[in-house]
Amino acid sequence: MKGLSKLLCGIDLGGTKINTGIANNKGEIISNIIIDTKAEEGQDAVIDRMIKSVYTVLERAGLKIEDLAGIGIGVPGLIDSWEGLVIEAANLPGWNNVPIVDIFSKEFDINIRLENDANAAAIGEYLFGSGKGIENFIYLTVSTGIGGGAIIDGKLYSGSNSNASEIGHSVIDFNGPKCNCGNYGCFETFASGTALARFAQNRMDAGEATLISELAGNGKVKAEHVFEAGEKGDKVALELIDKEAFYIGIGLVNILAFYNPERIAIGGGVSSQWDILKDRVNKVIEERALKPNAKVCGVVKATLGKNVGLLGAAGLVMEHK
């Protein structure tokens, strides 16, 4: 496996923060720095800041660029991993076919790799977290949106143009609500944190009494408010949580039918509520999934937490290809 003796650099580029760090091949972070993205300053400024962050973490760890196997970059958007392009990214306005791998390659004479954040996270969890040693492994992130990544026969499967496992945009009800992507009834329109907050708002708008209103106060309802109200026994919140678990369950039923994986790990914001959701979700799988596919697969909570983006990006340059 190439680069096993060298260290791994990962950059988790987000819409508000950039997390750059160096890890060893056990997934232990040796040095990292979190800086503001300042996306409004435009792509050149952001890329400049990313490059500087690499030098900063190297310096802090007393390392040279030669100590690295490469630099992996995870981006929350549409990318072309073969061409090394960021095609577009919702939280990075103005980014349009940015040849980020070329730009980095001019600065650093090492292996540079690019993936979308969910695919990178799948690699991270596979190499260092909840998917260790599991050759057919799916990572599903349920947050404001829903994304996924598939490890197939021990390798990231990114598809013909890096857009495989866009699980959030698979249809679970073709009569469902309109999705940001233009389609209707995508998994993400039912099961994302955004969808949960929307369903809660609908109940409040209908005049139902619920603790969620109090918790949200004058601000926007968030998924967290629903779970908090649910913990306190609020009836509306508990109904919404049941629905949320049902929708996640249906998405998992589809993952089982398509990928027949050995393990699925749930990450993203909603995963922090996994203890509440787990039994409800497993009941849906038991009732609805193909039996042999369900039997062979465990659904677990992802383990890398807030560093999944960094470790996933770093893991991109540990792969044996």
Binding stretches for a copy of itself (CB under 8 A): 78, 87, 136, 152-153, 155, 157-167, 169-175, 181-185, 246-247, 250, 253-254, 257-262, 287-290, 292-293, 295-297
Looking at the Cβ atoms of 149 and 312, the one nearer to a copy of itself is: 149
In DSSP terms, 138 is beta-bridged to: 150, 264
Query: Which DSSP category does 91 fall into?
Result: T
Measured from the CB atom, is 133 or 305 closer to a copy of itself? Answer: 133
The per-residue b/e assignment along 45-68, b for 16 or more CB within 10 angstroms, e otherwise, is ebbebbbebbeebbeeeebeeeeb
In whole angstroms, give the CA distance from residue 213 to residue 135: 45
- Residue identified by tokens 């050995």 is 262
Q: What is the DSSP letter of 177?
A: P
Kindly list the distances between the CA atom of residue 278 and the CA atoms of 74, 202, 242, 300, 318, in Å, as whole numbers in the listed order. 28, 25, 11, 9, 32
**Non-local CB neighbours of 321 within 8 Å, separated by 6+ positions:** 155
Residue 127: name the closest of 28, 30, 27 by CA.
27
Q: Is 51 within 8 Å of 38 (Cβ atoms)?
A: no
Q: Which is nearer to a copy of itself, 90 or 209 (CB)?
A: 90
Of residues 154 and 305, the one with the C-beta less far from a copy of itself: 154
Strand bridging mode 29-36 / 68-75: unpaired
CB of 40 to a copy of itself, least distance (A): 26
Q: Please report how close the Cβ of residue 78 comes to a copy of itself at its closest, in angstroms.
A: 6
CB of 18 to a copy of itself, least distance (A): 25
CB of 56 to a copy of itself, least distance (A): 34
CB of 242 to a copy of itself, least distance (A): 14
Whose Cβ is closer to a copy of itself: residue 100's or residue 310's?
A: 100
* In the complex, minimum distance from the CB of residue 259 to a copy of itself, in angstroms, rounded to a whole number: 6
* Closer residue to a copy of itself, CB minimum distance, 58 or 248: 248
- Minimum Å gap between C-beta 255 and a copy of itself is 8
In the bound state with a copy of itself, the residue whose beta carbon lies nearer, of 79 and 101, is 79
Print burial letters for 153-183: b (CB count within 10 Å at least 16), e (below 16). eeebbbeeebbbbbbbbbebeeeeeebeeee
Residues in the chain: 321
